[in-house]
Amino acid sequence: MTTNGHIIFAIASAIFAKNFILNALMIQADWWHLIPAVLTTCLIPDIDHPRSLIGQKLRWISQPISVTFGHRGFTHSLLALITLWFFKNVFFRSLLMPDDVFQGMILGYFSHIVADMLTPAGVPLFWPYRKRFCIPIINNKKNKKIEQKICLSLVCCVILFPIYLPVLIKYISSYVKIF
């Protein structure tokens, strides 16, 4: 997935998490905390690719990670997310960071992993177990515009779905008969 695709997907993920209240903290999450936090971390998993945007900016970190783990290795796994959570809660507990900012950072990182799962290459979700998990909806090698259209459509859906949910439920319930 491209940089733009990851950014758009991360915004859609933040809107989804806030609108559908995925956890209790999201009820009180401030948009001004959530969106910047998501955008800050949505490209970090690609630190393992020296030609990625973040890999070019932080080449001194990207090169060793790329050589050690390869692209879409450790940084694209749930173990990386658990490691981030562990470091924040064990070593950086005293760090003055609002909880919704940290939730947004985790959400941004996770959105990257989910977005890469939508490509045919997939991700090794349970790294070091090498099996790649994918739901190949986006094949950006054929047409990069399709990726952006899918991600923008997703943003529209997560914005509009809560508005039209009561109408949708009423429509569906009129056709479904409960015995």
pLDDT tens digits, 117-159: 988 889 999 998 989 998 888 776 666 777 778 888 888 887 7
Q: Which of 1-5, 10-14, 101-105, 169-173 has the lowest mean pLDDT?
A: 169-173
Q: Which of 25-34, 112-121, 135-144 has the lowest mean pLDDT?
A: 135-144
Which range of residues forms the domain containing residue 119?
3-175
What per-residue confidence (pLDDT) applies to 78? 94
Q: Among 59, 38, 68, 173, which Cα is nearest to 128's? A: 68
Dihedral (Cα; 57, 62, 63, 65), 10-degree rounding: 180
Average the pLDDT over 5-25 and give the result: 83
Q: How many domains does the chain have?
A: 1
Residue 30 pLDDT > 70? yes
Residues with Cβ within 8 Å of residue 135, at least 6 apart in sequence: 117, 118
Give 19's pLDDT tier (boundaries 50, 70, 90): confident
Q: Which run of H or E residues covers position 112?
A: helix 99-117
**pLDDT 10s digits, 38-92:** 999 999 999 999 989 988 899 999 999 889 888 888 999 999 999 988 888 877 7
Residue 110 pLDDT > 90? yes
Tell me if 84 sits within 8 A of 59, measured CB to CB.
no
Classify residue 121 by its DSSP letter: T
Phi, psi (degrees; rounded to nearest 5) at 8? -65, -40
